[in-house]
């Protein structure tokens, strides 16, 4: 299973990173100022798009976009993105920490999500040092205690956490952990099939609840899809593959926002 491979590779990478840069050294690099709030990107009632920068994926292969991360980010911001999602996973998504760092240097005000497979508070600290505003926590990859630990570490570092779920059971785990920003991934992490109805099912489970921000992820490419999800209670929409499948990703974002 590809997910198991990714997790195993990431755990080894984490082990290597801790040896190369011990936590005590990483702490010395902490920025003094808090990053832009990720959660603040979803306050307005509009098409709040979190545009993703990734150069390949296990399900889609290598994307046509060859622009540097800062160029992609510039296009996205000009086209109306309220935030960015930047892959830092190297082996399977061609991401890199420098992608996030370079975008943060050039665009200090934009909220940025570190998109990766996180298991350890050390990775949250990395994200904070690199300039992220938020980190991803995938419930399917974590034990409940690990999720609680990641959320606590993020709070200490003034970071938000996008807690990703795929079904009702994972949603229950997310809520019990204290998650406030819930990402609903429409992509099955086992076979990579996409089913948008997952988002609607999760939204129904939360329709009487307050205090949560719902973000739809994966398989989104059409404005009518997004408007339907917005009506169902979603405040944000994370889109990557659709945009990166173009040599100029910002053009597709501008078309989506303009309608």
Q: Is 94 a catalytic site residue?
A: no
pLDDT score of 146 more than 80 = yes
pLDDT in tens, 39-54: 999 988 889 999 999 9
Distance in angstroms (rounded) separating the CA atoms of residues 65 and 103: 16
Which residue of the set 10, 39, 54, 186 is catalytic? 54
Which residue of the set 185, 186, 199, 241 is catalytic? 185
Nearest alpha carbon to residue 111 among 198, 47, 50: 50
Q: Is 164 a catalytic site residue?
A: yes
**20: confidence class by pLDDT, cuts 50, 70, 90:** very high
C-alpha neighbours within 13 Å on the C-beta side of residue 39: 14
In a domain, 124, yes or no: yes
Strand partners, 215: 183, 236
Rounded alpha-carbon distances, angstroms, from residue 235 to 139, 158, 161, 184, 188? 20, 21, 15, 12, 22
Determine contact, residues 222/236, Cβ cutoff 8 Å: no
Q: Is 185 a catalytic site residue?
A: yes
Determine contact, residues 194/160, Cβ cutoff 8 Å: no
Which residue of the set 89, 115, 177, 241 is catalytic? 115
Which residue of the set 39, 52, 133, 177 is catalytic? 52
In a domain, 153, yes or no: yes
Average pLDDT over residues 215-236: 94
Strand partners, 84: 51, 112
Which residue of the set 89, 126, 164, 170 is catalytic? 164
In a domain, 103, yes or no: yes
Q: Is 89 a catalytic site residue?
A: no
In a domain, 110, yes or no: yes
Distance in angstroms (rounded) separating the CA atoms of residues 122 and 90: 17
DSSP state of 138: E
Most trustworthy range by pLDDT among 1-10, 97-106, 181-190: 97-106
- Considering its fold, how many domains does the chain have in total? 1
In the chain, how long is the greatest CA-to-CA distance?
A: 49
In a domain, 33, yes or no: no
Distance in angstroms (rounded) separating the CA atoms of residues 85 and 253: 14
pLDDT recorded at residue 247: 95
In a domain, 132, yes or no: yes
Q: Is 115 a catalytic site residue?
A: yes
Read off the CATH number of the domain in which 128 is found: 3.20.20.70
In a domain, 31, yes or no: no
Domain interval for residue 15? 2-25+38-258
> Element (H or E) spanning 85, and its range?
strand 83-87
pLDDT recorded at residue 1: 65
In a domain, 30, yes or no: no
């Amino acid at each position: 299973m590809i997910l198991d491979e990714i997790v195993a590779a990431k755990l080894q990478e984490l082990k290597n990173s801790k040896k190369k840069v011990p936590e005590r050294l990483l702490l010395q690099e902490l920025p003094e100022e808090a990053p832009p709030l990720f959660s603040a990107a979803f306050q307005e009632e509009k098409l709040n798009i979190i545009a993703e920068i990734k150069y390949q994926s296990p399900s889609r292969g290598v994307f046509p976009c060859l622009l540097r991360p800062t160029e992609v980010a510039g296009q996205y911001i000009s086209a109306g993105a309220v935030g960015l999602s930047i892959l830092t996973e190297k082996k399977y998504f061609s991401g890199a920490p420098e992608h996030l760092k370079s975008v943060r240097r050039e665009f200090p005000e934009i909220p940025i999500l570190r998109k990766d497979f996180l298991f350890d508070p050390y990775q949250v600290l990395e994200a904070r040092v690199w300039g992220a505003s938020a980190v991803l926590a995938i419930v399917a990859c974590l034990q409940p205690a690990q999720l609680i630990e990641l959320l606590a570490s993020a709070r200490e570092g003034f970071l938000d956490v996008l807690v990703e779920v795929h079904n009702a059971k994972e949603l229950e785990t997310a809520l019990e952990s204290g998650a406030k920003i819930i990402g609903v991934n429409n992509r099955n992490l086992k076979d990579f099939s996409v089913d948008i109805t997952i988002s609607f099912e999760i939204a129904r489970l939360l329709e009487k609840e307050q205090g949560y921000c719902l973000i739809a992820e994966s398989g989104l490419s059409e404005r009518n899809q997004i408007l339907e999800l917005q009506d169902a209670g979603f405040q944000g929409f994370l889109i990557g593959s659709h945009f990166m499948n173009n040599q100029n990703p910002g053009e597709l974002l501008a078309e989506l926002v303009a309608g």
